[in-house]
Amino acid sequence: MRIDAKALAIAVGLLWGGAILTLGLVSMVRPGYGMVVLELASSIYPGFDTAPGLGNTIVGTLYGLVDGAIAGWLLGWLYNRFAV
């Protein structure tokens, strides 16, 4: 069975981007929530900061969408290469 790498890229991108968006929005309402994950993301994504704010949340979400899509596509491609 083969996996549609493009569909997996879209799904993982939306999932990871949505997770960053959710953490960012909740962090604005409840400071400190999800800070460990946001600090990890800010150490990887240039221009993304853990300070609560809509601008930072949007930047992190866009990075998450792109990063998740690339990771999803690579996962689907690798799976298809090794699937017999």
Q: Which residues span the domain enclosing 33?
A: 5-82
Give the closest residue to 20 by CA, choosing from 46, 1, 39. Answer: 39
Q: How many CB atoms lie within 10 A of CB 2?
A: 8
Handedness of CA 48, 50, 53, 58 (dihedral sign): positive
For 2-21, write each residue's pLDDT tens digit: 999 999 999 999 999 999 99
The answer to whether residues 68 and 15 touch, using CB atoms and an 8 Å cutoff, is yes
For 27-38, write each residue's pLDDT tens digit: 999 988 889 999
| Rounded-to-integer distance, Cα 11 and Cα 38, Å | 21
SS3 label, residue 12: helix
Global model pTM greater than 0.85: yes
Q: How many domains does the chain have?
A: 1
